[in-house]
Each structure stands twice: as C-alpha cells, then as structure tokens.
Amino acid sequence: MLKTEENPSSSMDLVWGAAEIAKLIGRSPRATFHMLDGGELPAKKVGGRWVAERGKLIAFFLETAA
C-alpha cells in the first residue's frame, strides 16, 4: 500500500506524551521520561510534550535486541 499526502495519518502514527510512550515500550513513566530526557529514545519535544513515531520506537527496540 502506497502512502499518499491525501492520507497523512497512514504515514505517521504518533504517540504523544511520556506516559503513552511508556505503555508502548513497556517501561514505567518515570524510566521512560529519564530515557527521553537523556536522548536515548527516538522522540522529540513538541510544545512541551514528548512525541514519537510508533514505527520508529518499535524499530529502535528491534535493532537494540538484535
């Protein structure tokens, strides 16, 4: 399936907030915030809130485990 500009939600599945990122990666919110603040996760701060692409987070952990 090709990703098009007409459907931007299909190209990026964003996870907003440290708590939601923590749920996705299976860590505590506190540990996740520490990882985010230390630059250990592929995420950025936007308007004071952490945001990450679901696919990039999953790929990051798959690469780390390999």
**Structure confidence at residue 11 as a pLDDT band (50, 70, 90):** low
Give the global pTM: 0.75
Q: CA-CA distance, 14 to 54, in Å (whole number)?
A: 6
pLDDT at 62 over 80: yes
Higher pLDDT among residues 28 and 3, named by residue: 28
Contact between residue 14 and residue 53 where contact means Cβ atoms under 8 Å apart:
yes
In tens, the pLDDT along 21-47 reads 999 999 999 999 999 999 999 999 999
